[in-house]
């Protein structure tokens, strides 16, 4: 009898917890993204960063209309979401940019190369975070990355940066970590 | 109003200074005996100073003062110092002091920590005593470590000794006179171990220094100017620093070590001029520092109609020549070299050379650019005398110069030709195939760098050479894009393969993520849009992962990799593992793992060739 009473008590307590959770919501587990408030009825644009979950690029949506200055500033500032990581090496600054036809030329300081950790994965993430973010702007189809106002062979010894690059969707998505 | 402000300022200043009065009256104990200080302990540049007479009265030393120099003579050790001088002689060996002895309020004071270090005394700050205690044995605390705060257990050996000596007498050793609970902060603990066993000056044409370390958790280097010096902070290194080393080299004048903090030993290489350097963790432990070759002077000369570049240098230079068009230029990159003269850019009128400029292109490369009116090529460097070299020029293109050199070699009846890069072809499963093996990066481009300082270029080359051996044993003709530690442009690499008529192209790399240490595993990139390359990548990836058992990340088609440029043969770039991941770095730098990785790639090549009937 006593045992049944205890069991009934435990069951009631569990139901009470479930009821409260259903109203209040479950707590986020560690590593959950902190959502950034986004009003989808207003203009917004993507800025790409490296995802700690997938090891590939993932967009972070920012409210407003995308301008070249704003997207470059967002890339340099790094992500707001906790599960994303910045892709631009430390101390890098933008020295200038020029839109010629549909090709955007962006010149970075040498830190983009000298402070880059290397690796084809690292290089692809940095280059296509820049290219994918900037080609989200109307009128920008290709991005030519310059370093100290010069065309460079490569950033870290893999990608050919002698030419302008188009958006690459293959650097997004499926989990590879 | 002004006066009121001044009074307020003085009051605030007084209040701010007030709490320091309690600190000013710091006491000093030697073992358990309080030293009757005549003045408060002073701190200079973060170092507490101790009056000289304390060693005579409490630590059995004899003091001999001669003007500004003085000696502290112990039974087993003599320490010699000079007022204001930042060096000390301990039994004749020179040590660097963070702060030299000073005359303060009529007393000579010496750095407390240095003396504790030399006398192997522990130094602890005891809160309850509001002072420092110097002790021959461990101070009263449980456990070791830096800046450790602990309560003294009543059973500590020292507490027992104190109890035995106390008025309660030896009859009640198990109940000593209530030992006061003390909170000690250990400032310095003498250590028998010496983390940095020795600084070895290796010299050599490229000045090298070896730091013989028992173990270390990491290091950081800083190249500083005025005066020129290379600072190497060695983390996780305990024990006393070895003595200063005076050296005679074109690069260095001395190497000294001092303790920076409890976990860090600082090694300072005093340089004759700022120079590039390379830090290489040695496989068996320790760290080697290789300094750049020193380039003292360059001159263009016309010797009986033959143009040459005369070079004064610490050792024979390794020169990479690149010929560029529009405008015509010959670029000479001196590898691992520091230019000691000023950079210049000046017009000349010497044969086809119309202008030349010289400068430090990167920390590792001195670059000479010759602007030309007609083609000019460089020939191999010749030694004229010790430290004096010449680089002759050939009036023509690089191809003509190569033909000229080959003709010379033939004339000397040396059968070896062309083929340092072509291994002999034997009979086997891959007979008749030409396979280009491309070790990624090289020379001035180290690729990614692991936590332990492993260079990707070295890992890539080692795996590639093992792979080349296996391929040539199986009958293939192997073309290396590089087989030594040299820089080859990523655009030149596919050209080397195509010129040699390669059937397959395999580029060997080690990977890194933008967030270091984040990713691990193996992946193979291939020339996008080419089904043969995709199949080749799939098979190589399968066989490699089977061999090395790292995480199978993926195969990835890319059209933007420079090494696939203009190539129409099955081409892959293998990222064997992540060098920026500490676990995978350990594997990638091990020759056993490198051989297994080479075997895995080789198995993939053989399977691809067999399954596709070559």
Structure confidence by residue, pLDDT tens digits, B413-453:
444 433 333 333 345 789 889 999 999 999 999 999 998 88
pLDDT at B150: 35
The shortest C-alpha distance from B552 to chain A (Å) reads 9
List the single residue in B561, B575, B580 with the smallest CB-CB distance to A117: B580
CATH number, domain B196-291: 2.60.40.3500
DSSP string, B516-553: TTS--SEEEEEETT-HHHHHHHHHHHHHHHHHH---EE
List the single residue in A153, A157, A177 with the smallest CB-CB distance to B519: A177
The shortest C-alpha distance from A5 to chain B (Å) reads 50
pLDDT at B599: 94
Task: Tell whether A171 is within 8 A of chain B (Cβ).
Answer: no
pTM: 0.47
Decide if B513 contacts B578 (C-beta within 8 A): yes
Q: What does the alpha-carbon distance between residue B454 and residue B364 come to, in Å, rounded to a whole number?
A: 17
Find the range with the poorest average confidence among A37-46, B23-32, B90-99.
B23-32
- In chain A the beta strands, taken as DSSP E runs, fall at 44-51, 57-63, 84-85, 94-100, 103-108, 142-147, 150-151, 165-166
Residues of A in contact with B448 (CB under 8 A): 117-119, 122, 156
What contacts A21, CB < 8 A, 6 or more positions away? none
CB–CB of A160 and B580 under 8 A?
Answer: no
Q: Is A158 helix (H, G, I), strand (E, B) or coil?
A: coil
Expressed in angstroms, the distance from the first to the final Cα of chain B is 98
Expressed in angstroms, the distance from the first to the final Cα of chain A is 54
Find the helix or strand (DSSP H, E) in which B594 lies. helix B591-611
pLDDT at A13: 56
pLDDT at B17: 41
What contacts B31, CB < 8 A, 6 or more positions away? B133, B134, B135, B136
Q: Which residue has the tokens 């902060």?
A: B185
pLDDT at residue B351 tops 70:
yes
The average pLDDT across B560-566 equals 90
Q: Is the peptide bond before B227 cis (omega within 30 degrees of 0)?
A: yes
- CB atoms near residue A106 (< 10 Å): 24
pLDDT at B416: 41
Q: Is B563 helix (H, G, I), strand (E, B) or coil?
A: helix
Q: Is the peptide bond before B168 cis (omega within 30 degrees of 0)?
A: no
Q: What percentage of chain B has pLDDT greater than the value 90?
A: 33
Task: Tell whether A150 is within 8 A of chain B (Cβ).
Answer: no
**Buried b or exposed e, range B271-284, using 16+ CB within 10 angstroms:** beebbbbbbbbeee
The average pLDDT across B229-238 equals 87
Instruction: Give the residue range(s) of CATH 2.60.40.3500 domains in chain B.
Output: 196-291, 301-411
Decide if A166 contacts A50 (C-beta within 8 A): no
Residues of B in contact with A118 (CB under 8 A): 447-449, 456, 512
CA angle B492, B496, B502 (to 5 degrees): 140
Q: Which residue has the tokens 């449980």?
A: B142
Decide if B450 contacts B580 (C-beta within 8 A): yes
Of the candidate CATH numbers 3.30.457.10, 3.40.50.620, 2.30.140.10, 3.40.50.800, the domain formed by B22-153+179-188 belongs to: 3.30.457.10
Decide if A98 contacts A105 (C-beta within 8 A): yes
Q: What does the alpha-carbon distance between residue B45 and residue B97 come to, in Å, rounded to a whole number?
A: 11
CB–CB of A117 and B525 under 8 A?
Answer: no
pLDDT at residue B375 tops 70:
yes
Bridge partners (DSSP) listed for residue B298 = B311
Task: Tell whether B584 is within 8 A of chain A (Cβ).
Answer: no
DSSP state of B455: B
What average pLDDT does the structure give for chain B? 81
With cut-offs at 50, 70 and 90, classify the pLDDT of residue B155. Answer: very low
Residues of A in contact with B554 (CB under 8 A): 174, 176
CB–CB of B519 and A158 under 8 A?
Answer: no
**Within the 493-522 window of chain B, which residues sit less than 8 Å (CB to CB) from chain A?**
509-516, 518-521
Q: What does the alpha-carbon distance between residue B490 and residue B496 come to, in Å, rounded to a whole number?
A: 10
Q: What does the alpha-carbon distance between residue B460 and residue B465 come to, in Å, rounded to a whole number?
A: 9
CB–CB of B512 and A157 under 8 A?
Answer: no
- CB atoms near residue B207 (< 10 Å): 25
Could you tell me which chain B residue has the CA closest to the CA of A112?
A: B514
Residues of B in contact with A119 (CB under 8 A): 447-448, 456, 509-513, 575, 578-580
What ipTM was predicted for this assembly? 0.80
Q: What backbone torsions phi and psi does residue B562 show, to the nearest 5 degrees?
A: -65, -30
The shortest C-alpha distance from A166 to chain B (Å) reads 10
Task: Tell whether B160 is within 8 A of chain A (Cβ).
Answer: no
Of residues B467 and B186, which shows the higher confidence score? B467
Give the architecture (CATH level 2) of B419-611: 3-Layer(aba) Sandwich (3.40)
Q: What does the alpha-carbon distance between residue A72 and residue A93 come to, in Å, rounded to a whole number?
A: 9
Q: What does the alpha-carbon distance between residue B552 and residue B544 come to, in Å, rounded to a whole number?
A: 9
- In A10-164 the beta strands, taken as DSSP E runs, fall at 44-51, 57-63, 84-85, 94-100, 103-108, 142-147, 150-151
Residues of B in contact with A157 (CB under 8 A): 440-441, 445, 447, 490
DSSP state of B568: -
The alpha-helical segments, DSSP class H, found in B323-397 are none
- CB atoms near residue B32 (< 10 Å): 13
pLDDT at A2: 56
- Taking only the tens of pLDDT, chain A with its 177 residues reads 556 666 566 555 555 544 544 444 444 333 333 445 678 888 899 999 999 888 889 999 999 999 999 999 999 999 999 999 999 999 999 999 999 999 999 999 999 999 999 999 999 999 999 999 999 999 999 999 999 999 999 999 999 999 999 998 887 754 443
Q: What does the alpha-carbon distance between residue A53 and residue A83 come to, in Å, rounded to a whole number?
A: 7
HSE-CB of B76 using CA atoms within 13 angstroms: 4
What are B306-320's pLDDT values in tens digits? 889 999 988 887 888
Task: Tell whether A153 is within 8 A of chain B (Cβ).
Answer: yes
Instruction: Give the residue range(s) of CATH 3.40.630.40 domains in chain B.
Output: 419-611
Give the architecture (CATH level 2) of B301-411: Sandwich (2.60)
Residues of B in contact with A121 (CB under 8 A): 511-514, 519, 523, 575, 578
């Amino acid at each position: 009898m006593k045992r049944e009473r205890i069991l009934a008590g435990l069951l009631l307590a569990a139901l009470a917890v479930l009821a409260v959770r259903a109203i209040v919501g479950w707590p986020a587990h560690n590593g959950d993204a902190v959502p950034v408030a986004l009003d989808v009825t207003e203009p917004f644009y993507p800025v790409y960063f490296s995802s700690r979950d997938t090891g590939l690029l993932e967009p972070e949506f920012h409210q407003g209309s995308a301008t070249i200055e704003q997207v470059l500033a967002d890339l340099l500032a790094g992500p707001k979401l906790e599960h994303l990581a910045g892709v631009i090496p430390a101390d890098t600054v933008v020295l200038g940019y020029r839109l010629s036809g549909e090709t955007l030329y962006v010149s970075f300081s040498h830190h983009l190369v000298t402070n880059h950790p290397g690796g084809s994965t690292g290089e692809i993430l940095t280059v296509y975070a820049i290219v994918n973010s900037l080609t989200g702007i109307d009128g920008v189809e290709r991005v030519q990355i310059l370093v100290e106002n010069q065309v460079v062979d490569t950033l870290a010894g893999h990608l050919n940066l002698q030419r302008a690059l188009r958006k690459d969707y293959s650097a997004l998505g499926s989990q590879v970590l | 109003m002004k006066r009121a402000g001044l009074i307020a300022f003085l009051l605030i200043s007084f209040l701010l200074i007030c709490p320091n009065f309690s600190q000013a009256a710091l006491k000093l104990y030697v073992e358990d005996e309080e030293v009757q200080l005549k003045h408060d302990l002073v701190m200079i540049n973060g170092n507490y100073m101790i009056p000289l007479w304390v060693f005579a009265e409490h630590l059995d030393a004899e003091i001999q003062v001669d003007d500004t120099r003085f000696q502290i003579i112990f039974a087993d050790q003599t320490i010699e110092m000079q007022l204001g001088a930042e060096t000390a002689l301990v039994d004749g060996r020179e040590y660097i002091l963070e702060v030299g002895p000073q005359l303060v309020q009529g007393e000579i004071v010496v750095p407390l920590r240095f003396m504790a270090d030399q006398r192997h005394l522990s130094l602890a700050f005891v809160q309850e005593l509001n002072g420092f205690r110097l002790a021959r044995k461990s101070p009263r605390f449980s456990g070791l470590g830096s800046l450790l705060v602990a309560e003294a257990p009543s059973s500590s050996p020292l507490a027992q000794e104190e109890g035995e000596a106390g008025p309660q007498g030896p009859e009640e050793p198990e109940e000593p006179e209530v030992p006061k609970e003390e909170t000690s902060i250990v400032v310095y603990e003498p250590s028998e171990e010496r983390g940095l066993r020795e600084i070895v000056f290796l010299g050599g044409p490229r000045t090298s220094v070896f730091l013989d370390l028992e173990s270390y958790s990491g290091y950081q280097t800083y190249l500083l100017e005025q005066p020129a010096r290379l600072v190497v902070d060695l983390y996780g290194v305990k024990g006393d620093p070895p003595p200063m080393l005076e050296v005679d080299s074109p690069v260095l004048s001395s190497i000294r070590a001092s303790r920076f903090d409890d976990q860090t030993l600082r090694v300072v290489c005093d340089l004759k001029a700022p120079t590039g350097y390379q830090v290489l963790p040695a496989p068996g432990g320790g760290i080697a520092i290789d300094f750049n070759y020193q380039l003292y002077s360059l001159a263009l000369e016309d010797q009986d109609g033959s143009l040459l570049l005369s070079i004064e240098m610490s050792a024979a230079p390794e020169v990479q020549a690149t010929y560029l068009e529009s405008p015509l230029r010959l670029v000479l990159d001196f590898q691992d070299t520091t230019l000691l003269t000023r950079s210049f850019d000046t017009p000349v009128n010497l044969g086809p050379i119309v202008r030349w400029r010289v400068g430090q292109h990167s920390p590792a490369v001195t670059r000479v650019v010759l602007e030309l009116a007609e083609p000019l090529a460089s020939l191999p460097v010749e030694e004229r005398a010790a430290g004096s070299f010449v680089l002759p020029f050939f009036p023509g293109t690089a191809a003509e110069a190569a033909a000229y050199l080959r003709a010379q070699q033939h004339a000397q009846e040396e059968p070896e030709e062309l083929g340092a890069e072509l291994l002999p072809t034997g009979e086997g499963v891959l007979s008749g195939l030409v396979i280009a093996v491309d070790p990624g990066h090289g020379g001035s481009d180290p690729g990614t760098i692991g936590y332990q300082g492993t260079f990707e270029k070295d890992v890539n080359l080692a795996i590639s050479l093992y792979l080349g051996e296996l391929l040539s044993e199986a009958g293939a003709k192997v073309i290396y894009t590089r087989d030594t530690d040299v820089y080859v442009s990523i655009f030149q690499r596919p050209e080397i393969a195509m010129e040699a008529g390669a059937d397959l192209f395999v580029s060997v790399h080690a990977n890194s993520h933008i967030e270091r240490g984040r990713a691990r595993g193996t992946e193979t990139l291939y020339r996008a849009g080419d089904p043969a390359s995709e199949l080749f990548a799939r098979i190589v990836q399968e066989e490699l992962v089977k061999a090395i058992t790292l995480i199978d990340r993926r195969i990835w088609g890319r059209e933007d990799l420079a090494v696939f440029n203009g190539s129409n043969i099955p081409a892959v770039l293998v990222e064997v593992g992540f060098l920026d991941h500490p676990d995978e770095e350990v594997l990638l730098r091990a020759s056993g793992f490198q051989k297994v990785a080479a075997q895995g790639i080789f198995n993939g090549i053989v399977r691809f060739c067999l399954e596709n009937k070559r």
